[in-house]
Structures are given as C-alpha cells and as structure tokens.
Structure 1
Amino acid sequence: MQKAVWRGLLTASVLIGLAGGALAQDRPRTDPVPRPLTLAALETTAQPAPTPAPASAAVPDEAQPIEDVAATSPPRDPAVGSVTGFPIPRYVSIKAAEANARRGPSRSHRIDWVFQRRNMPVMVVAEHGHWRRVIDRDGAGGWVHYTLLSGERTAIVEAERLTLHQRPDRASMVRAEAEQGVIGTLRQCRVDWCEMEVGGFRGWVEARGLWGVDPGESFD
C-alpha cells in the first residue's frame, strides 16, 4: 500500500515537471526592450574655436612695412602718387556698399574701419601697390584696395542746408535744398560753384558748403 502511494507521488511530480516544461516552452520570450541612447551622449562636445592671432602680427614676407618701403624707394614728388601718377592728395569715392579700411596695405593687416555708405567721398593720401590710403571728412580711414574705389567725384553736404540753384548764381531759381550729410554726385565745378546731382535733382551749389572738393577747384 505504501509503495503504491510513493509510486503515485513520483508519477505526479514527473507529470508536473513535464507540464511546467511545456508551459515554459509555450510562454513567449520577453526579451528586454533596448533603451534609446541619450542624444547628448552622441553629440560631439563643442570646443571653443582657437583664438586667431592678431592680423597685424602676421605680415607676409613679400609685404614690406610702410617705413621700409619709404626708406628703399627713390626720392619722388610727394604730390604725385608713386603707383598711379595722379595727384596726392586727391578725392575719390567709395564704390562698394561696404569697404574695409586696414592698418596696412595688405589683407593680412587688421581692419580698423569699415565704410558702409556707397558713394562716400574720401581723400587719397598715399599709394602702395594695389592699395590706397584714404580718409573721410573726420580723418578716419586706412588702406583700401583700389577695386573698392571709384574716380567718380562725389561730395557730402557740410552746411546745415545747401540750396541747389538753376545757375551758379544766388539770384537764380531754387530747384531744391539738401540737408547736412546728404551725398551727391559732382558733375562739374567752377571755382566757387559745383553742379551737383542728388535725389533726382540737379543744380548748382556753393562749393564752400561741401566736403569733397578743394576751394577754387575747377573740373568738368
């Protein structure tokens, strides 16, 4: 009787074990879901850009300092440009909407000033290669590449208000008035008067109210 009981228990345990194995095989596997990588970990850490050396410290071998150029060049007429043969000083105008004025006559020199007004009159005071040293009416400026300059004569109104006359005569008909700071194109000048075009108007103005023309200057 006791043996029969033990035999029954053994059979039951085997069946339970088989059933458990079957259940384990029938149950679907639940693999762990992979967690998404943290985006910040995939991003490259931003490094500060290296601070560039000052442009003035990097002077190319072929560019001589201005002092050396002056020392090695033969004597010349200071009133005539060594490159163009044009008078020094002389008036020109800014051709581009933006023109960098550098400390020296090369692109390796630092930018000291930026002209941001097209047709602004400036004065050429020196020449070196493809570069012209220019200043504005306030004395600000530097070395500008010649391609950014134009030979077209312009002038800026210095007077508080400047009258454009039909003829170079105060008694002639008034066509328009230009306020201080207005820039116009000079068509011709006759001693004390200049014919200027500005804002679609054209007339004669007194040269003493302009910056961009010398006293008594005449040209067509």
Structure 2
Amino acid sequence: MNWKNTTRQTLGTTVLCLAALAATAASAATQQMVSVKGSTLNMRSGPGTHTEVLWELKRGYPLKVLARKGRWLQVIDFEKDRGWVARSLTGSTPHHVVKSRVANMRSGPGTQHRIVGKVEYGEVLRTREKRADWVRVERDSGKIGWIAKRLLWGW
C-alpha cells in the first residue's frame, strides 16, 4: 500500500469517527430531561410568550427536551404532548410521573415488600434513587416509597 492510499484511508476513518461522535452528541442533547422549576409553567405552541398556551404544568413535571431555540426548549411529555417552555423556568431536579392507572408504592424495591401507598395516573413524584427496575420516589406529602420503573415516566 502506498502513502497516498494510507493517507486516504486514515482521513476517511477520521471523518467517519467525527460524524459518529457528532451524531452521538446530538442524540444525547435531545435526550436531556428537565422538570418544572417554579410552581407552574406554561407549555406553549411556539417559542415565545406571544404564542398560545397549550398546558399549565405544575412543579416537578418531567419533560424530555427535543430541541432548543434561544431561551426556549421544545419538549415532549409522557402523553406525547409537544410544546415549548422557557428554559429559565426548568431545572435539573429529577422527577417521574405515574403513567399507569394506579401504582403501588412499596417499602422496598420489589413486589415482596409491603404496600405503603397508592399513586394515580399523572401524579408527579420526586425521584430519590434508582435500582434496576425500581425507582424510590417521594410524594409532595413527604411519603417515600418504591415503584416499579415500568409504571413511571421520567428520570
């Protein structure tokens, strides 16, 4: 193999690696999760206060970031509703929302642990810990327990 072919191969490999790295970074950015930082936040139809308010979201509500435009984030929620929120009104405190009709909150991470409460569809819970298929969460009341991950959405 001559010098020209070796240089071409190296250059080609480098370009492919950089493209893969850029795609991975873009994917990671779009997978970011945020939660409502204040007491409420308006999800809007577009990036600006002049656009229609679609939903009013309460403190802790988790959202997945799809895109960014200036000071605005395009987001999606657990019901697949999309909209825009002001980035300054979001935070990085992890929360989950209940996506099943009812979920048992247990004293430990497993079905063998006793039920300490029940949570309903749409309830927002503060994430405290994660273990395999279980999430330790806290209700607004301060009650803490474990819920099967498959019954929740968030991070």
Question: TM-score, length-normalised on structure 2?
Answer: 0.73
Q: Distance in 2 between matches of 1:171 and 1:180?
A: 23
What runs of 5+ residues in structure 1 fail to find an aligned partner?
1-74, 214-220
Aligned pair 1:97/2:39, yes or no?
yes
- Where 2:22 maps in the other structure, the secondary structure is coil
Q: Distance in 1 between matches of 2:42 and 2:68?
A: 16
Q: CA RMSD in A?
A: 2.5
Q: Distance in 2 between matches of 1:111 and 1:146?
A: 17
Query: Shift in Å at residue 179 of structure 1?
Result: 1.9
Equivalent residue number for residue 102 of structure 2: 161
Q: Distance in 1 between matches of 2:125 and 2:133?
A: 17
Correspondences of 1:22-41 after superposition (within 5 Å)? none
Q: Which amino acid aligns with 1:211?
A: W
Query: Shift in Å at residue 206 of structure 1?
Result: 0.3
Query: Shift in Å at residue 139 of structure 1?
Result: 2.2
1:87 to 11, 18, 29: 29
Length, aligned pairs only? 135
1:171 to 112, 118, 123: 112
Q: Distance in 1 between matches of 2:93 and 2:28?
A: 14
Aligned pair 1:203/2:125, yes or no?
no
1:25-77 Cα shifts (integer Å, max 9, x gaps)? xxxxxxxxxxxxxxxxxxxxxxxxxxxxxxxxxxxxxxxxxxxxxxxxxx883
Q: Distance in 1 between matches of 2:43 and 2:118?
A: 32
Q: Which amino acid aligns with 2:67?
A: A
When Rg is computed on C-alpha atoms for both structures, the one with the higher figure is: 1
Equivalent residue number for residue 116 of structure 1: 57
The answer (yes or no) to whether the contact 1:89–1:126 under 8 Å persists in 2 is no
> Against the structure 1 CA distance between its residues 173 and 102, is the aligned structure 2 distance closer, same or farther, given a 3 Å change threshold?
closer
Q: Which amino acid aligns with 1:114?
A: W
The answer (yes or no) to whether the contact 1:94–1:118 under 8 Å persists in 2 is yes
Name which structure has the greater RCO, CA cutoff 8 Å, separation 6+: 2
What runs of 5+ residues in structure 2 fail to find an aligned partner?
1-18
Question: TM-score, length-normalised on structure 1?
Answer: 0.54
Q: Distance in 1 between matches of 2:98 and 2:88?
A: 25
Instruction: Tell me the percent identity.
Output: 27
- Where 2:75 maps in the other structure, the secondary structure is strand
The answer (yes or no) to whether the contact 2:60–2:124 under 8 Å persists in 1 is yes
2:133 to 169, 178, 192: 192
